[in-house]
């Protein structure tokens, strides 16, 4: 039998922080995303409403539509947030465009097992900016794909009914981090909650981050994928999620003068600001500062020159003191 | 002349050891990539930083409750002239056999140049290095209040520059202590408490 380890108070604080944040975070709309055009109305709005009459998250029990049925739909992911859908990337779609089988001529609700993002996006020249073939390859090597017991698919992160791709340059850093981490936390916060309730020495999910100092700041200022994917600037490698033991644990990858992770961390977000204001201006006025990165080569060179000049002055002073002493 | 009471000597010794520790570990962190939190260098620097805070509190309390504070009072009237004379003595007069324009007494043990530098270091740069050091131990506290965002880089740069200036001060301070009747005599003062004059 595994021993029961009591959790130190600090861990409780962090777990409480995470758990209290996540329910609001995993709804991506909690982030102050840039406004879309307000007047936009789907061409299929009326048609879709026929589906939403039964498949909308806000549905309430009525005659012929009992609580049990709603519970069933909810448990099987068959209730869709209408508002989130009409803000998502797929908002211009009619429900039937995906949930209709041309061969059998019937509507099909659960299509998660049949489709991946590549089915539609993989070979579309309009999506050239996203290297879907490479993304598929990297995803195939990721812990999400290789660990088959978790039943992962594209849809776990990119919910087709709510996912909205965001251009990070329009967000400030914390919003971008919250937005991206909410995708991970949608599943992993549940695991943290489950494991922290465990009485068998569990909470492994959280203990894996125990080595990390200043956890609250790290967790709110750094995207999960910065450490949990290989260090690279390409978007594809953000899909190669690594097992915990292979994830980045070297502080110097961020906290150094040539931080590779810093470059990625701010890859999308900081480009805009940096080009407008210069790195130090944006760093001073924003949230981009990372300890250990301030020692620029110029600062080091200047300090060494001043130090050598001081030593040179002392040597000259000693020389004249000795010379005067000998002349006496 | 008995100038340095026991508490000052003990505090000075403690402060000197801590500052040396902080400078050495600070240099290692600044000029190498040894900024990993779990590294021994960082642990020593953090521990030294906490000790430095304690040492500084002792210094402030000591000066508040003893007459030692009078040595840090700057008389601004004619200050530049007195500093000029002292600089002239150290750079030229010393080699011509001039007498030191400043005479150490029980009422005034620091010459104008020493005094201005000691005040700047002890009441400006040491507090700065401590405050910014705390901010980096508990990131995002002070600058959030001051500039409305987590300007860690501001703390980082101020910490580095303040630390560098304190390091320079330490080098010059140690060198000027060789200006006793013999190069080692003034160093003995801080152990014995008795001042034995300069060259």
Is the pLDDT at A273 greater than 90? The verdict is: no
For residue B163, what is the nearest residue in chain A, using CA coordinates?
A303
What is the C-alpha separation between B164 and A304, in angstroms, rounded?
10
Q: Which residues of chain B lie closer than 8 angstroms to A288, CB-CB?
A: 153
Angle between the B6-31 and B40-65 helix axes, to the nearest 10 degrees? Answer: 150
Measure in Å the smallest separation between the Cα of A250 and chain B Cα atoms. 7
What is the C-alpha separation between B72 and B114, in angstroms, rounded?
10
Strand partners, B2: B194
Is the pLDDT at A230 greater than 80? The verdict is: yes
Q: Residue B156 and residue A294: Cβ atoms within 8 Å?
A: yes
CB proximity B107 to A under 8 Å? no
A208: left (phi over 0), alpha (psi -120 to 50) or beta: alpha
pLDDT value at residue B129: 95
Most confident stretch, A146-150, A169-173, A238-242: A238-242
Residue-by-residue DSSP string for B6-34: HHHHHHHHHHHHHHHHHHHHHHHHHHSS-
Q: Residue B97 and residue A324: Cβ atoms within 8 Å?
A: yes
**The two three-digit tokens of residue A120, written as one number:** 């539609």
CB proximity B10 to A under 8 Å? no
For residue B132, what is the nearest residue in chain A, using CA coordinates?
A291
- CB contacts < 8 Å between A and B, how many? 89
Nearest to B139 among A217, A251, A311 (CB): A217
How much is the pTM? 0.64
Q: Residue B157 and residue A299: Cβ atoms within 8 Å?
A: yes
What is the C-alpha separation between A76 and A70, in angstroms, rounded?
10
* Cβ pair B4, B195 in contact under 8 A: yes
pLDDT value at residue A194: 57
pLDDT value at residue A224: 87
Nearest to B149 among A285, A295, A306 (CB): A285
pLDDT value at residue B115: 94
Q: What percent of chain A has pLDDT over 90?
A: 8
Mean pLDDT of A14-39: 48
CB proximity B164 to A under 8 Å? yes
CB proximity A183 to B under 8 Å? no
Give which of A229, A248, A233, A209 is closest to A141, Cα–Cα: A229
What is the C-alpha separation between A306 and A313, in angstroms, rounded?
10
Over residues A37-94, the pLDDT tens digits come to 556 788 899 999 988 988 998 888 887 788 888 898 888 888 899 988 998 888 899 9
Strand partners, A101: A106
Task: Mutate one of B152, B158, B178 to test the A interface: name it (highest A CB count within 10 A).
Answer: B152
- Burial (CB count within 10 angstroms: exposed 0-12, middle 13-18, buried 19+), residue A32: exposed
Q: Residue B35 and residue A306: Cβ atoms within 8 Å?
A: no
Q: Residue B151 and residue A289: Cβ atoms within 8 Å?
A: yes
Over residues B80-116, the pLDDT tens digits come to 999 999 999 999 999 988 888 998 888 888 999 999 9
Provide, for chain A, the percentages of residues in helix, strand and coil under a 3-state DSSP scheme, each rounded to the nearest 5. 55, 0, 40
ipTM computed for the complex? 0.89
Mean pLDDT of A170-185: 78
pLDDT value at residue A279: 41
Reported as a pLDDT band with limits 50, 70 and 90, residue A299 is confident
pLDDT value at residue B124: 96
Is the pLDDT at B183 greater than 70? The verdict is: yes
* Cβ pair B180, B198 in contact under 8 A: yes
* Cβ pair B158, B128 in contact under 8 A: yes
Mean pLDDT of A283-303: 62
Mean pLDDT of A300-306: 89
pLDDT value at residue B171: 96
Place of tokens 């190069």: B183
Over residues A202-215, the pLDDT tens digits come to 455 666 787 787 77
Mean pLDDT of B134-157: 68
**The two three-digit tokens of residue A80, written as one number:** 């869709």
CB proximity B157 to A under 8 Å? yes
Task: Mutate one of A266, A291, A318 to test the B interface: name it (highest B CB count within 10 A).
Answer: A291
CB proximity A324 to B under 8 Å? yes
Reported as a pLDDT band with limits 50, 70 and 90, residue B49 is very high
**The two three-digit tokens of residue B50, written as one number:** 């906490």
pLDDT value at residue B89: 94
Question: Does A193 or A150 have the greater pLDDT score?
Answer: A150
Is the pLDDT at A274 greater than 50? The verdict is: no
Give which of B77, B73, B146 is closest to B116, Cα–Cα: B73
Reported as a pLDDT band with limits 50, 70 and 90, residue B141 is low
Most confident stretch, A258-262, B8-12, B138-142: B8-12
Reported as a pLDDT band with limits 50, 70 and 90, residue A25 is very low
Count of helix runs (H) and strand runs (E) in chain A: 17, 2
pLDDT value at residue A270: 44
* Cβ pair B94, A323 in contact under 8 A: no
Give which of A215, A198, A249 is closest to A10, Cα–Cα: A215
For residue A280, what is the nearest residue in chain B, using CA coordinates?
B153
Question: E strands of chain A, at which residues?
Answer: 100-101, 106-107
Is the pLDDT at A123 greater than 90? The verdict is: no
pLDDT value at residue A154: 86
What is the C-alpha separation between A215 and A221, in angstroms, rounded?
10
CB proximity A10 to B under 8 Å? no
* Cβ pair A310, B172 in contact under 8 A: yes
pLDDT value at residue A101: 74
Q: Residue B150 and residue A287: Cβ atoms within 8 Å?
A: yes
Q: For chain B, give the mean pLDDT.
A: 87
State the DSSP code for A252: G
Q: Residue B36 and residue A251: Cβ atoms within 8 Å?
A: yes
Q: Residue B35 and residue A252: Cβ atoms within 8 Å?
A: yes
């Amino acid at each position: 039998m595994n021993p029961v380890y009591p959790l130190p108070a600090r861990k409780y604080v962090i777990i409480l922080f995470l758990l209290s944040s996540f329910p609001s975070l995993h709804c991506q709309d909690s982030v102050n995303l840039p406004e879309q055009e307000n007047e936009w109305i789907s061409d299929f709005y009326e048609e879709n409403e026929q589906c939403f009459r039964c498949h909308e998250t806000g549905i309430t029990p009525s005659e012929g539509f009992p609580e049990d049925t709603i519970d069933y739909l909810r448990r099987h992911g068959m209730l869709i947030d209408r508002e989130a859908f009409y803000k998502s990337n797929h908002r211009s779609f009619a429900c039937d465009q995906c949930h209709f089988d041309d061969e059998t001529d019937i509507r099909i609700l659960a299509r998660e097992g049949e489709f991946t993002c590549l089915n539609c996006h993989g070979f579309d020249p309009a999506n050239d900016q996203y290297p879907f073939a490479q993304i598929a390859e990297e995803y195939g090597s990721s812990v999400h794909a290789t660990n088959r017991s978790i039943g992962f698919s594209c849809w776990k992160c990119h919910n087709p009914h709510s996912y909205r791709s965001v251009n990070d340059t329009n967000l400030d850093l914390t919003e971008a981090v919250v937005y991206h981490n909410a995708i991970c936390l949608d599943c992993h916060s549940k695991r943290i909650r489950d494991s922290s309730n465990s009485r068998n020495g569990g909470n492994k999910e959280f203990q894996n981050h125990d080595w990390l100092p200043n956890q609250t700041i790290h967790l709110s200022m750094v995207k999960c994928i910065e450490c949990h994917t290989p260090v690279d600037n390409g978007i594809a490698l953000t899909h190669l999620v690594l097992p915990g033991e292979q994830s980045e644990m070297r502080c110097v990858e961020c906290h150094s003068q040539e931080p590779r992770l810093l470059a990625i961390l701010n890859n999308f977000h900081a480009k805009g600001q940096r080009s407008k204001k210069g790195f130090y201006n944006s760093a001073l006025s924003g949230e981009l500062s990372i300890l250990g990165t301030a020692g620029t080569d110029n600062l080091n060179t200047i300090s060494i020159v001043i130090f050598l000049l001081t030593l040179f002055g002392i040597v000259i002073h000693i020389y004249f003191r000795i010379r005067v002493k000998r002349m006496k | 002349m008995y100038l340095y009471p026991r508490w000052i000597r003990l505090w000075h010794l403690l402060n000197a050891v801590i500052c040396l520790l902080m400078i050495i570990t600070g240099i290692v962190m600044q000029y190498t990539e040894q900024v990993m939190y779990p590294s021994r260098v960082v642990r020593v620097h953090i521990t030294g930083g906490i000790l430095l805070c304690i040492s500084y509190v002792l210094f402030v309390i000591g000066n508040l409750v003893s007459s030692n504070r009078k040595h840090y009072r700057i008389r601004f009237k004619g200050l530049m002239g007195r500093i000029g004379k002292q600089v002239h003595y150290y750079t030229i007069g010393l080699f011509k056999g001039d007498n030191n324009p400043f005479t150490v007494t029980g009422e005034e043990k620091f010459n104008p140049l020493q005094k201005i530098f000691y005040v700047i270091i002890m009441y400006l740069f040491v507090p700065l290095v401590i405050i910014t050091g705390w901010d980096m131990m508990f990131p995002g506290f002070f600058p959030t209040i001051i500039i409305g965002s987590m300007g860690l880089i501001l703390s980082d740069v101020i910490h580095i520059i303040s630390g560098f200036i304190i390091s320079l001060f330490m080098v010059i301070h140690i060198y000027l202590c060789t200006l006793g009747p013999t190069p080692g005599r003034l160093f003995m003062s801080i152990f014995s408490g008795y001042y034995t004059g300069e060259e």
